[in-house]
Structure 1
Amino acid sequence: MKAIVSNTDRLQGEIHALSSKNYTTRYLLVSALADGVSTIHYPAHSEDSDAMRRCLIDLGAELHEDAEKMTIRGFGRHPKAIKELNVGNAGAVLRFLMGTAALLPEVTFVNTYPDSLGKRPHQDLIDALEQMGVSVEHQNGRLPIIIRGSKAHGGLIEVSGQVSSQFLSSLLFLTPLLPEDSEIRVLHDLKSKVVIGQTLEVLEEAGIIIHASEDLMHYHVPGGQQYQAKSYTVQGDYPGSAAILAAAAVTNSDVRVTHLMEKSKQGERACVDVLQAMGVDLTHQDGIVHVRGGKGLVAGEFDGDEFTDAVLAMVAAAVFAKGTSRFYNVENLRYKECDRITDYLNELRKAGAHVEERQSEIIVHGRPEGVEGGVEINAHYDHRVIMALTVVGLRSAQGLTIKDAHHVAKSYPQYFDHLKALGAKIELIEE
């Protein structure tokens, strides 16, 4: 599908934020790892969360869902022995379940997206699992991956946090179920610490005890624990909402996004602070973010590791800010569905933006007057790139045509519908 995004003068209206994909996938997993029936209220529906649903059913969980909630009868520490798991293009789901797979005799994670997830590295998690007595066959750290578990044990485990925090999360989900206590040491730097905070929050809700150091670099995990069947409520999703808020910020707008907790532990909540720092007229109270856009943005410097999945949307806003913006500490963007620095910036240049890259930085020389556009651009099968490029298209004199725009469904299937409801001029063409 192609999305033809035309210059749009004004956005107006109210959008109810989607439920959080990150929390949904975590609640699904802890519910499956529990014995008994758990309930998840307002779970997200996206390709990622649906991939987790599908894989957990394959592993023996029983799921029932209506319009507002889902019930899950878990398999505890005894998932069903199966030969293959297909996570689609969901990297977090793959990495979380690689840990769970250590409870199985043998399972193969297949490679159905060789040009996207198939290129992403998982060696750091593989190294950690092998320290635990798990046998792993892989293709230079990439899919397809065969895991032979059953003999997994606790003890001292070292894992690098330099590429992704998802490797550490995977171990934190697994180790409480092992007979022995575990000590997890994080090597090098730990990316996206705020996301580890979400994992620890969900584990605590599920009745799991984990002793984490203040800097989140060392963990003591008592063994022999059991996940408890609980009731969970999924909060609104900041990463997807960040793109809606960025679109409102760069246009004449009066837009409200509801269902966004002020004190959420989602790191991407910082997008509200970033936009305010850029001079956007924005308020956030009673779970509602209210943006009155069109007054002009100013450049700033931001630590992107605090809001990883909102960086691209904030860069899109910075394209139209006065001055030069710098987003630093963002190297982990290179290891997502695509290289979200090089690939994304190449497309921004095609649209007429003035941007530069460093190994771990994005530099944006703002053009408050807008960009020319009038080109077809490649979103590299990446939902975050699609959303961010759409924001740029709204302020492009000749608009933008985005290829493979259907991949936005990975996290936000209703994205284009929501923007169009606010008045965005977007035409979707099936190919």
Structure 2
Amino acid sequence: MKAIVKPTEKLSGEINSLSSKNYTTRYLLAAALSEGTSTIYYPAHSEDSDAMRRCIHDLGAELQEDNEKIVITGFGKSPKPVKELNVGNAGAVLRFLMSTATLCPEVTFVNTYPTSLGKRPHDDLIKALEQMNVKVAHQSGKLPITIYGGNPKGGKIQVSGQVSSQFLSSLLFLTPLLEEDSEIVVLDDLKSKVVVGQTLDVLRQAGIQFEVSEDFMFYKIPGNQKYVPKKYVVEGDYPGSAAILAAAAVTNSNVSMLRLMENSKQGEKAAVDVLKKMGVHLNYEGSTLQIHGNQKLIAGEFNGDHFTDAVLAMVAAAVFAEGTSRFYDVENLRYKECDRITDFCNELKKAGANVEEKQSEIIVHGQPNGVEGGVEINAHFDHRVIMALTVVGLRSKKGLIINDAEHVAKSYPQFFEHIQSLGANVELIK
């Protein structure tokens, strides 16, 4: 599918924010790991969360869903023995379930996206699992990956957090179910600590006990615990909403977004602070976030590790700011669905933006009068790239044609429908 994005001066209206993908996937897993029945209200529907639904069902969870909620009867620490699991292109789902799969005798995670998820490394989690009496067969850390489990052991576990915090989250979901107590030490650095905070939030809600150091680098997890069946309510999603907020920021706009909590633990809530520093007027009224854009933005310097999944949308806004913006500590963007630094910057340059890349930085020389556009560009099968390029297309002089735009469904299937409802001039061609 191609998205033809045409210049758009004004966005206005109200939309119900997408439900949080990160919380949905974590609640689904916590519910599956319980031995009773849990209810999740307003779960997200995306390729990622649907992959988690599919895989926990394959592992033995019972799921019933209507328009408001999903009811899940879990398998606890006794999943059904399955030979294969297909997570599609969902990296977080793969990583979370690699640990859960150690409760099965033998599971192979198949490689159905060789040019995307199939290229991403998982060595750090594999090394941690091998410390736990688990054998893993893999292709230099990449898919297909076969887990030979059945009897994982707790104890002292070391895991690197330098590439992704998802490896740590994966272990945190598994270790409470093991017979032994566990201590997890995070080596090197820990990327996206705020996302680990979401994992810990869900574990607490599920009745799991643990101790964590102030810097999130050390954990004590008692063994022989059980996940408590619960009722969970999914809040609005800041990572997806960041693109809508950026689109409103670069146009003349008056947009309200429902179900975005001011006290959210989602790291991407920092996108609100980024836009405020860029001169955009935003304010909360209860659980509604209002944004007023007037096309006047100011450049700034931002630590992108605090809001990983909103960085590309904020870079897109910075393309039109007065001055030079710098997004630093973002090297982990290179290990996503595509290389979100090199690939994204290359597409921005085609559109006429003035950007530079370093190993862990994106530097944007803003062009307040807009970019030229008028070109066909590639999204590299990456949902975040698609949404960010759409923002750029709205302020381009000649519009943009974005190829493979259907991949926005990985996290935000309604993205184009929502932005069109606000007045964006976007045409979709299948």
Q: Which interval holds the TM-score relative to the shorter structure?
A: over 0.9
Q: Do the aligned residues in 2 keep the contact of 1:185 with 1:219 (CA within 8 Å)?
A: yes
Q: Which runs of 4+ in 1 moved over 4 A?
A: none
One-letter identity of the residue aligned with 1:78: S
CA–CA distance in structure 1, aligned partners of residues 210 and 328 of structure 2: 31
One-letter identity of the residue aligned with 1:249: A
- String of CA shifts for 1:133-161, please: whole Å, max 9, x gaps: 10000000000000001121011100000
One-letter identity of the residue aligned with 2:97: L
Q: After superposition, where does 1:134-145 map in structure 2 within 5 Å? A: 134-145=134-145
Moved more, 381-390 or 278-287: 278-287
One-letter identity of the residue aligned with 1:220: K
The residue number in structure 1 matching 2:171 is 171
Gaps of 5+ in 1: none
The residue number in structure 2 matching 1:371 is 371
TM-score (norm 2): 1.00
CA–CA distance in structure 1, aligned partners of residues 207 and 240 of structure 2: 29
The residue number in structure 1 matching 2:107 is 107
- String of CA shifts for 1:404-425, please: whole Å, max 9, x gaps: 0000000000000001000001
The residue number in structure 1 matching 2:181 is 181
1:51 and 2:51 correspond: yes
The residue number in structure 1 matching 2:64 is 64
The residue number in structure 1 matching 2:23 is 23
- String of CA shifts for 1:311-350, please: whole Å, max 9, x gaps: 0000000000000000011000000000000000000000
Q: Do the aligned residues in 2 keep the contact of 1:262 with 1:285 (CA within 8 Å)?
A: no
Q: What SS does structure 2 have at the residue aligned with 1:290?
A: strand
Q: What SS does structure 2 have at the residue aligned with 1:232?
A: strand
CA–CA distance in structure 1, aligned partners of residues 2 and 133 of structure 2: 47
CA drift of 1:198 comes to 0.3
The residue number in structure 2 matching 1:191 is 191
Q: What SS does structure 1 have at the residue aligned with 2:294?
A: coil
The residue number in structure 2 matching 1:420 is 420
CA–CA distance in structure 2, aligned partners of residues 428 and 21 of structure 1: 24
CA drift of 1:388 comes to 0.2
Moved more, 294-303 or 180-189: 294-303
One-letter identity of the residue aligned with 2:91: G
CA–CA distance in structure 2, aligned partners of residues 221 and 300 of structure 1: 40
The residue number in structure 1 matching 2:315 is 315
Gaps of 5+ in 2: none
CA drift of 1:374 comes to 0.5
CA–CA distance in structure 2, aligned partners of residues 117 and 350 of structure 1: 25
- String of CA shifts for 1:360-412, please: whole Å, max 9, x gaps: 11100000000000001010000000000000000010100000000000000
CA drift of 1:282 comes to 1.6
Tell me how large the CA RMSD over aligned residues is.
0.5
- String of CA shifts for 1:180-225, please: whole Å, max 9, x gaps: 0011000000000000000000000000011100100000010010
CA drift of 1:47 comes to 0.5
Q: After superposition, where does 1:126-275 map in structure 2 within 5 Å? A: 126-275=126-275
CA–CA distance in structure 2, aligned partners of residues 339 and 21 of structure 1: 21
Q: Do the aligned residues in 2 keep the contact of 1:324 with 1:364 (CA within 8 Å)?
A: yes
CA–CA distance in structure 2, aligned partners of residues 307 and 210 of structure 1: 25
Q: What SS does structure 1 have at the residue aligned with 2:419?
A: helix
CA drift of 1:292 comes to 1.2
The residue number in structure 1 matching 2:334 is 334
- String of CA shifts for 1:61-115, please: whole Å, max 9, x gaps: 0000111011000000000001100000000000000000010100000000000
One-letter identity of the residue aligned with 1:57: H
One-letter identity of the residue aligned with 1:349: K
The residue number in structure 1 matching 2:39 is 39
- Percent identity among equivalent residues? 73
CA drift of 1:295 comes to 4.5
